[in-house]
Structure 1
Amino acid sequence: MFLVTISMVSKTSVILTFLFLALPFSSTACSKEDFQALVAFKETFSPNTFPKSWGASADCCLWGNITGCKDGRVTSLTFTSDVFNDVAALDLHGTLPPSLGDLSTLTSIDIYMQPNLYGLIPYNWSKLKNLETVAIYSTNVSGPVPSFLSQLTSLQELHLDYCNLSGALPPSLGDLANLNKVSFTHNKLTGTIPSTLFSRLDKGILHADLNLVENQLTGAIPKSFGRVPFRYISLQDNQLSGDASFLFGKSKPSLIQVTLARNRLSFDLTNVEYPVKNVQYIDLGNNEIYGSINEQIIQVVQEIHLDVRSNELCGKIPRGGKFTPKDANWFADNKCLCGEPLPACK
């Protein structure tokens, strides 16, 4: 005999549970585990938050915002407040639900433009051993970057941008051998950048991306980063100090972009060589960098944007090959730089 007391559970839960039991199931029908986790997720938020497709079929792969399924198991979720690749727009009010941690086959979570979503990243998410991508963008999710993320051994991309995260980056993120894209832009992170980050990167991974723009990070850039095959590294708008010359090198094949502007970096640029093959953009502006610009920069094979404004550089600006600087602002406010596009050297 099956008894349900309406006062003990919500009407939504009762309706969806009966639907789950009553509808005929095919081989692609949602698993019981995933069905229950999604119902719990839905009930975290106020009524009418989700489209009618949520719960309209036993096959959860047909529900709105379920962007990936395999053999009736949920693999990908996308929640956005704007229409995005035909994903239903949602406006989530509340905290991040721990119930998503019960979707054991999940490989991707994407949450965009949810300013009314707040609170901590739930510890229950540490169970998501298949998770490869986490992208939480433009929310009010707060608290520290959880150290339990290091338990997500399949994680490849971690994007927690435009949130209210604070505290230090956990060194344990460096334990993740597959993690090669890390982005925590526009948060309130403090402390130093862990030297362990990317330290165990699988040798089969050809490049890494790091974006820590606009935080409150201090101290030196880890020397260990000189061995990381960076493609993009963006650390501007922090309070970083010391040397950054080891990020460069003539033979670094992956490096495309380096942005270090508006820090307190101080090193001699004179003998710094620039990657020849792929580099396109270097921004070192508003630091305390001294010396001169190496003539070797004219060897680069693509047009390169070099911005060194507001430093302590001297000497003639090189010119030749693909390096033909035209904007004087990129070189302004230095100690004694000269030559086109600045006034001629005396």
Structure 2
Amino acid sequence: MPFQTVFFLLLLHSLSPPSAADSSSSSGLCHPDDQSALLQFKNSFSDPKPFPTWDPKFHCCGWYGVECNETTNHVIGLDIATSDLNGTIPITLPNLKHLQHLRLHKLPNLVGEIPPEIGQLHHLTYLVISWTNVSGPVPHFLSNLISLRYLVLSFNCLSGFIPPSLPTLPYLYAIDLSRNHLTGPIPESFGHFPESAGPPALDLSHNMLSGDIPASLANVNFSEIDISRNSLSGDASVFFGLGKITNTIIISRNNFEFDFSKVTFMEDLDVLDISHNKIYGTIPSQIIDAVYLQQLNVSYNRLCGKIPTGWKLRYRSEIWDNSSFLHNRCLCGFPLDPCQ
């Protein structure tokens, strides 16, 4: 099963469209300015069919995909997920001045670039634009979203470099730019996330990123990191460390080359995939102290020596099969051939 971070699953769940029953449980009165802004959003598309419940005869807090603040009746959430929507992201979105959650998901006919007007949504905490055909760069003006906590721009057609300004956002602690066409290196600034935001989750997988891993990333106590399926190089041991709380490290299918013997493992590590690189050395015996480890893949590297034994796993009844260790230079021991 492809990697999906716990955060992103929770995020998508939290942004699921409210049902009619949920919406009607609020006061039901929609602020007239917000209702007008929503109708502008709807009318910016040529086909109104994706919005069958968006009827001005009814207050907009009961419209599908719309969430209102129960006290102020202002629209604070907009979740649009339908395959029938055609067009570009409307530039009228800033008229929803109190918007906190915006999710545009699984809209294959949504095209064009992310408009600069998105940068005016200063109350936005969740921004999800995923599974669309939106193209162009990851905009630098996203750094204007001073309240942003979660940024998900996955499964799109975005290209160009990653803006180095993203980690300057004071509350941002989850970035998913996976499954795009991004190029260039990981910015050095990604080693300087603000501590006030908490341990960041970062998914840059399935792009065309290249260059060495910035040494500054060693300063970050990531909660989850997935940079797999790029063309990155250098020393990815910066993600390891006994004192870190990282539970997921997926760096597979890159050009990393470092001495695995020298890394130390955090106790909370749950997923480790370093496969399809040029990593050499031995598997440190300290890995058996990663008691929560559920997924392990070190195959297709240049590792040597004996595979550690005596695993202290808490939630796994069976030890790893040989597919976790195959195609290394000279690994031996169970579940591979015995050491000579």
TM-score, normalisation: structure 2? 0.87
Aligned to 1:125: 118
Q: Within the alignment, does 1:296 sit opposite 2:286 as a pair?
A: yes
Aligned to 1:166: 159
Aligned to 1:15: none
Q: What is the one-letter code of the residue matched to 1:79?
A: I
Q: Decide which of 201, 212, 226 is 1:209's aligned counterpart.
A: 201
How many Å separate the matches in 2 of 1:62 and 1:28? Answer: 7
**Deviation of the 1:322 alpha carbon:** 2.4
Matched residue of 1:298: which SS?
helix
Which shifted more, 39-48 or 171-180? 39-48
How many Å separate the matches in 2 of 1:50 and 1:106? Answer: 21
Q: What is the one-letter code of the residue matched to 2:136?
A: G
How many Å separate the matches in 2 of 1:175 and 1:29? Answer: 37
Aligned to 1:235: 227
Aligned to 1:67: 67
How many Å separate the matches in 2 of 1:66 and 1:131? Answer: 15
Q: Decide which of 244, 248, 251 is 1:260's aligned counterpart.
A: 251
CA contact (8 A) 2:84 2:107 kept: yes
**% identity of equivalent residues:** 39
CA contact (8 A) 1:68 1:77 kept: no
Number of aligned residue pairs: 310
> Residues 303 and 50 of structure 1: is their aligned pair in 2 closer, same or farther, counting only changes over 3 Å?
closer
> Residues 251 and 200 of structure 1: is their aligned pair in 2 closer, same or farther, counting only changes over 3 Å?
closer
Q: What is the one-letter code of the residue matched to 1:76?
A: G
How many Å separate the matches in 1 of 2:77 and 2:214? Answer: 34
Aligned to 1:218: 210
Aligned to 1:152: 145
Matched residue of 2:133: which SS?
strand
CA contact (8 A) 2:170 2:196 kept: no
Deviation readout 1:276-316 (Å, 9 max, x if unpaired): 2x111100000000000101111222244321111111000
> Residues 326 and 50 of structure 1: is their aligned pair in 2 closer, same or farther, counting only changes over 3 Å?
closer
**Deviation of the 1:58 alpha carbon:** 5.5
Q: Within the alignment, does 1:334 sit opposite 2:324 as a pair?
A: no
Matched residue of 2:147: which SS?
coil
Q: Within the alignment, does 1:54 sit opposite 2:45 as a pair?
A: no
How many Å separate the matches in 1 of 2:86 and 2:293? Answer: 46
Q: What is the one-letter code of the residue matched to 1:75?
A: I
Provide the alpha-carbon RMSD of the alignment: 1.8
How many Å separate the matches in 2 of 1:299 and 1:172? Answer: 37
How many Å separate the matches in 2 of 1:28 and 1:79? Answer: 20
Q: What is the one-letter code of the residue matched to 1:80?
A: A
CA contact (8 A) 1:59 1:72 kept: no
CA contact (8 A) 2:191 2:214 kept: no
CA contact (8 A) 1:80 1:91 kept: no
Gapped regions of structure 2 (runs ≥ 5):
1-26
Q: Decide which of 292, 300, 309 is 2:299's aligned counterpart.
A: 309
How many Å separate the matches in 1 of 2:78 and 2:191? Answer: 27
Q: Decide which of 247, 260, 263 is 1:269's aligned counterpart.
A: 260
**Deviation of the 1:221 alpha carbon:** 1.8
Q: Within the alignment, does 1:140 sit opposite 2:133 as a pair?
A: yes
Aligned to 1:23: none
Aligned to 1:283: 273
CA contact (8 A) 2:42 2:51 kept: no
How many Å separate the matches in 1 of 2:62 and 2:157? Answer: 33
How many Å separate the matches in 1 of 2:302 and 2:193? Answer: 36
**Deviation of the 1:30 alpha carbon:** 2.6
**Deviation of the 1:31 alpha carbon:** 2.7
Aligned to 2:309: 319
Aligned to 1:14: none
Deviation readout 1:219-244 (Å, 9 max, x if unpaired): 12222221212111000000000101
Gapped regions of structure 1 (runs ≥ 5):
1-26, 82-89
Matched residue of 2:64: which SS?
coil
**Deviation of the 1:197 alpha carbon:** 2.4
CA contact (8 A) 1:102 1:127 kept: no
How many Å separate the matches in 2 of 1:274 and 1:304? Answer: 14
Q: What is the one-letter code of the residue matched to 1:46?
A: S
Aligned to 2:100: 107
Deviation readout 1:311-345 (Å, 9 max, x if unpaired): 11100000113257421111111110000000000
Q: What is the one-letter code of the residue matched to 1:208?
A: P
Larger radius of gyration: 1
CA contact (8 A) 1:303 1:322 kept: no
How many Å separate the matches in 1 of 2:297 and 2:50? Answer: 47
Which shifted more, 146-155 or 58-67? 58-67
TM-score, normalisation: structure 1? 0.85
